[in-house]
A = this chain, B = another copy of it.
Amino acid sequence: MGNNNDRRLPRLEDVAARAGVSHQTVSRVINNHPNVSAATRARVEAAIAELGYRRNTAARSLVTRRTQTIGVLASELGQYGPANTLLGVQQAAREAGYFVSIASIKGAGAEAISDAVRHLTDQGADGLIVIVPHDGTLQALERLDLDVPVIVVGGAGEGRLSGAMVDQKLGARLAVAHLISLGHRRIGHVSGPLDWIDGQARVDGWREELAEAGLSDDLLVEGDWSAGSGYRIGQQLAEQRGATAVFVSNDQMALGLLRAFGEKGVRVPEDVSLVGFDDQPESAYFMPPLTTVRQDFEELGKRCMDLMRAQIEEGAAGGTLVVSPELVVRASTSAGPRLP
């Protein structure tokens, strides 16, 4: 294991001396350049192993102008979706030899975004993945005029920005179609905040599916993603009794509705059917287990990283990447009541 008399880490020079070659040859071995004889390569590799040599990233970055670092900018890292997207990005990145640096922000203000972006570019990030699924994100990023690839998760690519998303509108339509197929005619929607991309897209999907079935889309209430808002809205809905089914824009709000309905004596699914969105691991253990739309965030993160690498390494053009969601039917939905 290397005779570390001094605490200094070994450099190319040290490896070269031990292998009896020049430091440049060692560099070639490390970088898999073709023109190195098998014998030399073996000697060098042995020397590397003996000294425990590890390449100095800073020195390499200085000359290549690449840091092998992807910056991830996220606004709600504590949430299930963003956290798992990050996880997927990280896995794919590490496998490809990239580092992942993060910057989280509160809210989605343009200034917070630009601060965080500056932080990441200061580090020399080779690419940015932005998980701030808010309306203003795209414009805020456009204005920054960045010279590295940027992928906006949850947004469609516009101009130099790429996008990656789970097809929210499709997910919403799957949910609503499921309810319609069960015989429901009055289908309400508890949406997320409408200035959030996903929130709006799910409203659109809900509306479109209803329109195609000739049903009314007047039962819309806006929540804020939290279980608390779901609870408050659920209390209102329980008293109105306007709908036989409700499509809720995420599982947490659905949990709030379930509790409100439980307290008001509205039975799910006998009186009202409920569909959520996300399929968090807990949703299968709600009472009753929640029918919901699954988003594979980890897959989304991985695909993001693939798209990023294509742009960084091959100069590929950006684009918009779409992952399909999937309906998971559990016990919170059943046939609608026999009404005219």
Contacts and interface: CB of A to CB of B under 8 A. Distances in A.
B67 A90 contact: no
A100 B99 contact: no
Contacts of A58: 57-59, 61-62, 67, 124
Contact of A101 (B101, B255, B289): B101
B54 A285 contact: no
A28 interface: no
A122 B255 contact: no
Interface in A43-87: 54-59, 61-62, 67, 69, 77-80, 83-84, 86-87
Contacts of A91: 104
Given A77-B86, A99-B123, 17 more contacts: A56-B124, A57-B123, A58-B59, A58-B62, A58-B124, A77-B83, A78-B83, A90-B103, A99-B101, A226-B281, A227-B285, A228-B285, A252-B281, A255-B282, A255-B286, A259-B287, A282-B282
Interface in A80-126: 80, 83-84, 86-87, 90-91, 94, 99-104, 116, 118-119, 121-124
A104 B92 CA distance: 11
A78 B80 contact: yes
Nearest to A85: B78
A87 B228 CA distance: 22
The bracket for how many chain A residues form the interface is 35 or more
A256 B285 contact: yes
Interface in A212-252: 226-228, 230-231, 252
A146 to B, nearest CB: 13
A282 B227 contact: yes
A136 interface: no
A122 B117 CA distance: 24
Contacts of A101: 69, 99-102
A172 interface: no
Contact of A284 (B78, B122, B228): B228
A300 interface: no
Contacts of A118: 54
A55 to B, nearest CB: 7
A147 interface: yes
A77 B259 CA distance: 28
B100 A102 contact: yes
A131 interface: no
B55 A281 contact: no
A327 B67 CA distance: 46
A177 to B, nearest CB: 28
A10 interface: no
A102 B61 CA distance: 19
B282 A55 contact: no
A258 interface: yes
27 contacts: A7-B147, A55-B122, A56-B124, A58-B58, A58-B59, A58-B61, A58-B124, A59-B62, A77-B90, A78-B84, A78-B87, A87-B104, A90-B102, A90-B104, A99-B101, A99-B119, A99-B123, A100-B102, A102-B102, A227-B281, A228-B284, A228-B285, A252-B281, A255-B282, A258-B287, A259-B285, A262-B287
